[in-house]
Amino acid sequence: MLTTGTSAGMSVPGSNARSEPLIQIRDLIYQSAGIFQADNKLQLLEDRCGKRMKALGVPTLRDYYACLTVNPMHQAEMASLLNEITIGETCFFRNRPQLEAIRNIALPKIIEARSKLGQTRLRLWSAGCSTGEEPFTLAMILLEESAGRLKGWSMELLATDLNERSIAHAKAGCYGDHSTRNLDPYSRNKYFSVRGNELQATPELQASVSFSRLNLLDDSLMTFAKDVDLILCCNVLIYFDLASKNRVIRQLYRSLLPHGHLFLGQFESLFGVSEDFQLVHMPSATAYVKSNNGAARADQP
Amino acid sequence: MTVAAAKQILEKLQSARDLPTVPAVLLPLLRYMEQPLEQIDIHQVVNMISRDKSLAGRCLQVANSPLFGSSHEVGTIQGSVVALGLERIQQIAVSCSLIKLAPALSGGVNPAAFWAHSLGCALVSREFAVRIGYSDPAKAYAAGLLHDIGIVAMLWVAPYDFRRCFEEASQSRIPLHEAEQRVLGTSHCECGKIIATNWHLPEELTEVITGHHSPATVRGNPVLTSIVSLSDLLCRVGGLGYGYPEERQTNFAEEPAFAILAAKHPALRPFDLARFTFETESLLEEVRGTVSQIYGTH
């Protein structure tokens, strides 16, 4: 398998600002987790490694790279580093270009495909929904569209997570400043009410998402998600090893309708994991669709 | 009506009276870039760039930017040749000379956006060329830089018509060349061909300028054109187009340019396009930063 050319990204000769161990750690994270830290995110990565190095009492990045590779606990340390990388990221309307792509490009395609089948229903799935910010964001987008393109449609929004406590939090629908930092005034007023220092999702918003606990590796449970138009699965696969990733991706593939779209985290990639899905580009966002939009491989076991 | 409009624009361009004057250093620099490095008189290049004070100033800004990443600040063109090498300085100088071609683009296109797109496409083309093992990344750079020169030509002879195309493109959120075809029945590719021929640009560059939206029609060097075609697309989906998002889903694997490249460059078959896209996004952010710095200070 080919990884892309130079490991130093697109930096040019003469640019030696970044240390070699940091680049090695970046590439290691990408190989094992599929999440990429571009050159303009390397400072952030260095800070996050710094936190872990402090916790471990490790003096240099070179030593820390050894912790992530040769140390007997390297897998656990990689999980800790990934936690550090994704921590606190969850908030409403987190990745605007991705949401725009869903609303303006994926949704019209889904509507067209469903309409061709004479159907006026759609089903979306937030797989690994954490404390609910992501599915509630999708719900707000769908509710806005329900007065326009989706008028008269029935919509189902599934949201699952492995963590019981996250699901309980999501069901309660109460959020603090950190989660609501990207919420525009319009959505804030329409879909939330103030409760002390927090914002409470309105009954309408809460009713539009059905939360449940689900282990993505549990094949028997996975059959519940069928005929899905769109899956959002952000920064979830990064914690799985390659074999588990393969299994999950295959399940997600089966869950999707032929026109279905899979959206991952902003810098997440399926390269080397799945050849069933094809990468597609939208303005400042990428997604995965079934090969030939599902025609060729939809029935593959 | 569109046929008449196209005919009029192309005739106007061919008559050559109204063509923009080519910046003095652009053609000599392009010629140098065609030569093996060891045959080039470094002093001649340095003097040529240094003589033009505004060009030299911009070149130093770019040379010191993260895009070309000199590890220490350079203050003269000669110093920048030492720090970055002659090939890079030629690329920087050609890029900066393009600014003079579009000093006050009208017709809806912001001159800074035009330059940013050209510079971004040059850098992505060069990197893409390296990744797939294309033999001449420097040529890919020049081709990426000049691919949309036809827009300058169109604006020069038909600014009002071009504005209509641009408005159509940005309202319908479609690629510019499709709007040009829809509104005028011609495109910046055809116009670019005329201007490239008029300036006696190297044949391969003329092909890229003419064929970057239809690489399958290119006969001479379809690989070079395909590299630029995909890099152009990556810039546009990465937000470095002409100031509006093209609202569509693009599957690179289904692009004609991709098939052309995959046939010649086996490295492309298992190519990690996702990673290249993330890297490109980061690079384009640097381009935006450098361009706004240069346009802010000149």
DSSP string, chain A: -PPPS-TTTT--TT---S-HHHHHHHHHHHHHH-B---GGGHHHHHHHHHHHHHHHT--SHHHHHHHHHTSTTHHHHHHHHHHHHHTT---TT--HHHHHHIIIIIHHHHHHHHHHTT--EEEEEEES-TTTHHHHHHHHHHHHHTTTTTTT-EEEEEEEES-HHHHHHHHHTEE-HHHHTT--HHHHHHHEEEETTEEEE-HHHHHT-EEEE--TT-HHHHTT--SEEEEEE-S-GGGS-HHHHHHHHHHHHHHEEEEEEEEE-TTB--TTT-SSEEEEEETTEEEEEEGGGGTTTTT--
Specify which residues A212 forms β-bridges with.
A160
B253–A contact, CB cutoff 8 A: yes
| Secondary structure element (H or E) that encloses residue B46, with its range | helix B42-51
Residues 219-248 of A with CB under 8 A from B: none
Listed in sequence order, the residues at least 6 apart from A293 whose beta carbon sits closer than 8 Å to its beta carbon are: A258, A259
CA of B67 vs chain A CAs: smallest distance (Å): 8
Check if the beta carbon of residue A49 is closer than 8 Å to that of residue A22. Answer: yes
Structure confidence at residue B174 (pLDDT): 96
Nearest CA in chain A to B245: A283
A257 backbone dihedrals φ, ψ, rounded to 5°: -70, 165
CA of B202 vs chain A CAs: smallest distance (Å): 26
Structure confidence at residue B66 (pLDDT): 87
Calpha distance B238→B283 (Å, rounded): 10
B238–A contact, CB cutoff 8 A: yes
CA of B20 vs chain A CAs: smallest distance (Å): 33
Each residue of B151-162: pLDDT tens digit? Answer: 998 988 888 999
Structure confidence at residue A10 (pLDDT): 57
CA of B250 vs chain A CAs: smallest distance (Å): 5
Structure confidence at residue A292 (pLDDT): 56
Cβ atoms < 10 Å from Cβ of A16: 11
Specify which residues A198 forms β-bridges with.
A195
Nearest CA in chain B to A273: B272
Largest CA distance in chain B: 57
Cβ atoms < 10 Å from Cβ of B36: 6
**Consecutive 10-residue averages of pLDDT for chain A (301 residues):** 40 53 94 90 92 94 93 88 82 95 96 96 96 97 95 96 94 96 96 96 97 88 84 93 92 94 95 91 95 45 35
Distance of CA B155 to the CA centre of its chain: 16
Distance of CA B161 to the CA centre of its chain: 22
B204–A contact, CB cutoff 8 A: no
Sign of CA dihedral B71, B72, B73, B77: negative
Each residue of B169-183: pLDDT tens digit? Answer: 999 999 999 999 999
Nearest CA in chain A to B70: A14
Check if the beta carbon of residue B145 is closer than 8 Å to that of residue B151. Answer: no
Burial level of A29, CB count in 10 A (0-12/13-18/19+)?
Answer: buried
Which residue ranges in chain B fall short of pLDDT 50?
Answer: none
Distance of CA B194 to the CA centre of its chain: 16
The C-alpha R_g of chain B, in whole angstroms, comes to 18
ipTM of the complex: 0.91
Structure confidence at residue B196 (pLDDT): 92
Q: Which residues of A touch B272 (CB under 8 A)?
A: 2-4, 269, 271-272
**Which of A1, A10, A269 has its CB closest to that of B274?**
A269
Structure confidence at residue A15 (pLDDT): 41
Cβ separation of B69 and A40 shorter than 8 Å? no
Calpha distance B68→B189 (Å, rounded): 29
Structure confidence at residue A1 (pLDDT): 32
A267–B contact, CB cutoff 8 A: yes
Calpha distance A233→A235 (Å, rounded): 7
Q: Which two tokens stand for residue A113?
A: 């495909």
Calpha distance A63→A57 (Å, rounded): 10
**Cα–Cα separations (whole angstroms), residue B181 to B13, B178, B211:** 17, 5, 14
Calpha distance B223→A246 (Å, rounded): 34
Q: Which residues of A touch B267 (CB under 8 A)?
A: 2
